[in-house]
Amino acid sequence: MDITILQEKLIGALIGLAKACENNPKTEHTDRILIKGLYATNANTSEEVVKDMIALVQEEKNKIVPNCSCCGSPCGNTSDYDVTQIWDAEEEIRSLKSLILFSIRNMAAYVYQALEAGYQEEDVNAFFYKALAIISYDLEANALRSVVLEVGQVNEKCMELLKKANITVYTTAFPVVLPSE
């Protein structure tokens, strides 16, 4: 299967996980899976890694809402999202939702690196859940624009978090003068 299709399936699964966490408690482990999953959609990863992440996301979602997988009358609230709905949406909605999605995928790269160094921020993590869930909703452009503005604010926090992690782990960077030959 094409890696792009697998990454879209992973995004759909992550949206389902985010929606499952709207009314159910998540854990630090859930945060880690969500961030790592978003990072895997933006990194040069193999098909096998993406398939494993999809399975991990599904497993975590089943822990959070254990009865959803065997429900006799599923409501769809925690179902994986069909990402093609973004690409098939009206142009302005498609543009805003894709801007949100691509932005949080990039932000996850910073947050994942900070997380690996032992740093995280709950409000940044919470925004990932919010942004993913919002992508699945049928919202007007104005509602999506407010989320796009929030993306910028949270992105700044992501950069600060990564800077803090890097300074702590690697010390403060300083310019080095290269000798001329």
Whether 157 is covered by a domain: the verdict is yes
pLDDT tens digits for 15-40? Answer: 999 999 998 999 999 999 999 999 99
CA distances from 83 to 37, 47, 99, 124 (A): 15, 18, 14, 23
Q: Could you list the residue range(s) of the whole structural domain that residue 79 is in?
A: 3-168
Q: What is the pLDDT of residue 82?
A: 95
Rounded average pLDDT over 109-125: 94
Whether 175 is covered by a domain: the verdict is no
Whether 152 is covered by a domain: the verdict is yes
Question: Cβ neighbours of residue 53 under 8 Å, at least 6 residues apart?
Answer: 10, 36, 37, 40
Instruction: Give the span between the Cα atoms of 80 and 68, in whole angstroms.
Output: 12
Confidence class for position 172, pLDDT limits 50, 70, 90: low
Q: What is the pLDDT of residue 50?
A: 94
Whether 177 is covered by a domain: the verdict is no
Rounded average pLDDT over 109-133: 95
Q: Is the pLDDT confidence value at 134 over 90? A: yes
Which residue did the predictor score with more confidence, 171 or 38?
Answer: 38
In the chain, how many H helices and how many E strands?
7, 0
Give the domain CATH number at 150: 1.20.1270.20
Question: Cβ neighbours of residue 148 under 8 Å, at least 6 residues apart?
Answer: 96, 99, 100, 103
Q: Is the pLDDT confidence value at 132 over 90? A: yes
Under 8 Å between Cβ of 144 and 101: no
CA distances from 38 to 90, 131, 170, 172 (A): 25, 12, 25, 28
Question: Cβ neighbours of residue 1 under 8 Å, at least 6 residues apart?
Answer: 47
Q: What is the pLDDT of residue 42?
A: 82
Whether 24 is covered by a domain: the verdict is yes
Instruction: Give the span between the Cα atoms of 3 and 26, in whole angstroms.
Output: 28
pTM score: 0.89
Instruction: Give the span between the Cα atoms of 20 and 108, in whole angstroms.
Output: 20
- Angle of helix 28-40 versus helix 122-136 axis, rounded to 10: 60
Confidence class for position 1, pLDDT limits 50, 70, 90: confident
> Structurally, how many domains does the chain consist of?
1
pLDDT tens digits for 69-114? Answer: 666 555 667 789 999 999 999 999 999 999 999 999 999 999 999 9
Read off the tokens for 152. Answer: 């910028």
Around 74, how many Cα atoms within 13 Å sit in the side-chain half-sphere? 12
Whether 176 is covered by a domain: the verdict is no
Q: What is the share, in percent, of the chain residues with pLDDT greater than 90?
A: 77
